[in-house]
Chain A
Amino acid sequence: NAGVTQTPKFQVLKTGQSMTLQCAQDMNHNSMYWYRQDPGMGLRLIYYSASEGTTDKGEVPNGYNVSRLNKREFSLRLESAAPSQTSVYFCASSDKSNQPQHFGDGTRLSIL
């Protein structure tokens, strides 16, 4: 049982490049989330999808877009990467908002 799978695990981009981070879950969860975690900091919510077909902004949505492709997959896109977006990105899923979240292993993204 894979749980939440994120790809890629590592990526280096140049300023201005675009990229899509992929996330898939195999637990039939309704809700999915994207967080960023800067060094020594907490988890900041970028976007979330409470159910298939819906997406909502979180705390720090600027510079990002998301797509809930189907119930399993939730992708995060950086249209024009900036050094301030250097971070570790975690995808998570849960059956509902008041249920435990299961996190992926993260994508370590560096923007030069």
Chain B
Amino acid sequence: GENVEQHPSTLSVQEGDSAVIKCTYSDSASNYFPWYKQELGKRPQLIIDIRSNVGEKKDQRIAVTLNKTAKHFSLHITETQPEDSAVYFCAASYTNAGKSTFGDGTTLTVKP
């Protein structure tokens, strides 16, 4: 089955700096890669996703890049703000997989 590894497990940056979180996946059939943000005590919520037919997607300060050959994808957050502090989860799935496989999460702390 699919295996998703996420690094780093914790990340601390200064406000205004950039943050990068990386995930690798094992199943070459995977074609959908979402990122979820979970604030403390809240539910996970989708922030951005990418499909295997594109290499990069941006939405304001966040972007995701995908390298299908190397089987890894990354979340990039620029100009970080304290409200970006949260746990971020990556995931991978494919059509008819029935489910997604999640990474173990990255706790991002943005220091004012």
Residues in A whose Cβ lies below 8 Å from that of B95: 96-98
B28 within 8 A of A: no
A interface size (C-beta, 8 A): 22
Residues in B whose Cβ lies below 8 Å from that of A45: 99, 102
B-contacting residues of A (Cβ < 8 Å)?
Answer: 31, 33, 41-43, 45, 48, 50, 56, 58, 90, 96-106
A-contacting residues of B (Cβ < 8 Å)?
Answer: 31-32, 34, 36, 42-46, 49, 51, 89, 91, 93-100, 102-105
Residues in B whose Cβ lies below 8 Å from that of A102: 46
Cβ A97 vs Cβ B45 within 8 A: no
Point out which of B42, B51, B98, B102 has the most chain A C-beta atoms below 10 A from its C-beta.
B98
Residues in B whose Cβ lies below 8 Å from that of A96: 95-96
Point out which of A90, A101, A105 has the most chain B C-beta atoms below 10 A from its C-beta.
A101
Cβ A31 vs Cβ B44 within 8 A: no
Q: For B94, give its contact among A42, A97, A101 (CB under 8 Å).
A: A97
Cβ A101 vs Cβ B46 within 8 A: yes
Q: Is the interface of B mostly helix, strand, loop or mixed?
A: loop
Residue contacts A-B, CB under 8 angstroms, 21 given? A31-B98, A41-B104, A42-B89, A42-B102, A43-B89, A43-B105, A45-B99, A48-B99, A58-B99, A90-B44, A96-B96, A97-B93, A97-B100, A98-B51, A98-B93, A98-B97, A99-B32, A100-B34, A101-B36, A101-B91, A102-B46
Residues in B whose Cβ lies below 8 Å from that of A90: 43-44
Cβ B99 vs Cβ A100 within 8 A: no
Known: A43-B105, A98-B32. 16 other contacts (CB 8 A): A41-B105, A43-B44, A45-B99, A50-B98, A58-B99, A90-B44, A96-B96, A98-B31, A98-B94, A98-B97, A99-B32, A101-B34, A101-B36, A103-B45, A105-B42, A105-B43
